[in-house]
């Protein structure tokens, strides 16, 4: 008597396992790629929020009339005419004596902002700031930072992304002093 057994042969199981593994590897690679892109987008969004906060602080400084101090590693460049000067501290003042201070902590990559010599508040901290570049605009040749009435600020915000890559966001704006002499 001949019996016809129901079930799968070993070859059928191996073929279906191979097809399943190919499909899973494709799905897994798409999933990983999507996760990486989502993380990059989240980081870029965070950097854009920090940039917005920075621009709001810069907008408040437009009341200033002149640069009181501009430095990097405690070296003052107030009488410099250098282009694209990388700085970590700038103090702006107006004729009423009000001060606007930006101070970059290079170890923590936090930019602290204070108005009128006040204490640095937690709300006045912009995170993930890697460097600040300034240059004089609308100045004649030989114009120093002390004499200028406008600045070009370029701030680089950066953060480590997924898989050890660095995601950066550069904010460039012109700062015209409303109360310049």
Q: Average the pLDDT over 98-102 and give the result.
A: 86
Report the pLDDT value the prediction gives residue 59, as an integer from 0 to 100.
83
- Closest among 67, 13, 86, 44 to 181, alpha carbons compared: 67
Nearest-angstrom CA–CA distance, 111 and 105? 6
Q: Which two tokens stand for residue 65?
A: 């009339």
Q: Average the pLDDT over 95-121 and give the result.
A: 82
pTM value surpassing 0.95: no
133 pLDDT above the threshold of 90: yes
Range among 45-49, 99-103, 112-116, 162-166 rated most confident: 45-49
Nearest-angstrom CA–CA distance, 179 and 176? 9
Element holding 172 (H helix, E strand)? strand 166-176
Report the pLDDT value the prediction gives residue 139, as an integer from 0 to 100.
66
Residues of the chain with pLDDT > 90, as a percent, come to 43
Q: Between residues 5 and 113, which one has the greater pLDDT?
A: 113
Report the pLDDT value the prediction gives residue 3, as an integer from 0 to 100.
66
Q: Between residues 178 and 11, which one has the greater pLDDT?
A: 11
Residue-wise burial string across 111-145, b where 16 or more C-beta atoms lie within 10 A, e elsewhere: bbbbeeeeeeeeebbbebbbbbbbbbeebeeeebb
Report the length, in residues, of the chain: 181
Report the pLDDT value the prediction gives residue 1, as an integer from 0 to 100.
54
- Domains of the chain, by residue range, sit at 33-176
Report the pLDDT value the prediction gives residue 57, as an integer from 0 to 100.
86
Backbone torsions φ then ψ of 49, nearest 5 degrees: -65, -40
């Amino acid at each position: 008597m001949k019996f016809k057994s129901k079930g799968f042969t070993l070859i059928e199981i191996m073929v279906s396992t191979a097809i399943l593994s190919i499909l899973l590897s494709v799905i897994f690679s798409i999933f990983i790629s999507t996760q990486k892109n989502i993380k990059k987008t989240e980081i870029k969004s965070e950097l854009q929020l920090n940039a917005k906060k920075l621009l709001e602080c810069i907008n408040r400084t437009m009341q200033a009339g002149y640069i009181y101090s501009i430095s990097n590693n405690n070296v003052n460049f107030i009488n410099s005419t250098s282009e694209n000067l990388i700085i970590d501290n700038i103090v702006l003042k107006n004729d009423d004596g009000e001060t606007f201070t930006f101070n970059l902590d290079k170890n923590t990559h936090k930019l602290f902002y204070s108005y009128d010599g006040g204490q640095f508040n937690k709300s006045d901290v912009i995170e993930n700031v890697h460097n600040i570049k300034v240059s004089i605009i609308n100045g004649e040749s030989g114009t120093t930072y002390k004499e200028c009435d406008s600045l070009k600020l370029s701030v680089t915000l950066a953060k480590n992304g997924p898989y050890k890559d660095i995601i950066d966001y550069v904010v460039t704006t012109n700062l015209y002093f409303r109360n310049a002499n």
